[in-house]
């Protein structure tokens, strides 16, 4: 885990990637596809900033999910759809290192939306999957 790049909620996990920015994104997309997840959106936030005449470090927001895992959660509590699909952010720091941020759903969907732990099991696999992807 990495610290020192700004405050964030305890539910946000930051992983430092051993790969460059583009390779990290490619690896994540390959792993998500292999796990049966759908990438719903890939938002280049740096590009959006540039269109507004602003500077931003390389930053990409990826929205992803697997309807087989997410639908039962949304069926249990429709408000949980605010947290789904899942998202992660790939960003590059000032020294050129790439990081991946994602939200630990056990800390959000469980306690905040009273989702039964067994429904969260498929989503909790994401943490290990991302960790192995960025190593």
Q: How far apart are CA 39 and CA 134, in angstroms?
A: 18
34-86 pLDDT, tens digit per residue, is 999 999 999 999 999 999 999 999 999 999 999 999 999 999 999 999 999 99
| CATH code assigned to 13-134 | 3.30.310.70
Taking the domains of the chain in order of start, what are their residue ranges? Answer: 13-134
Q: Is the pTM of this model over 0.75?
A: yes
């Amino acid at each position: 885990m990495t610290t020192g790049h700004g405050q964030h909620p305890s539910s946000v996990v930051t992983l430092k990637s051993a790969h460059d920015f583009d390779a990290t994104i490619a690896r994540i997309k390959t792993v998500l596809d292999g796990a049966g997840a759908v990438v719903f959106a890939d938002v280049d936030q740096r590009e959006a900033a540039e269109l507004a005449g602003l500077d931003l470090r390389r930053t990409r927001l990826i929205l992803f999910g697997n309807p087989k895992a997410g639908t039962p959660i949304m069926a249990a509590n429709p408000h949980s759809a605010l947290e789904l699909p899942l998202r992660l952010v790939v960003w590059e720091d000032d020294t050129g290192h790439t990081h991946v941020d994602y939200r630990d759903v056990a800390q959000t969907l469980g306690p905040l939306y009273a989702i039964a732990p067994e429904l969260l099991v498929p989503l909790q696999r994401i943490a290990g999957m991302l960790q192995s992807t960025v190593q």
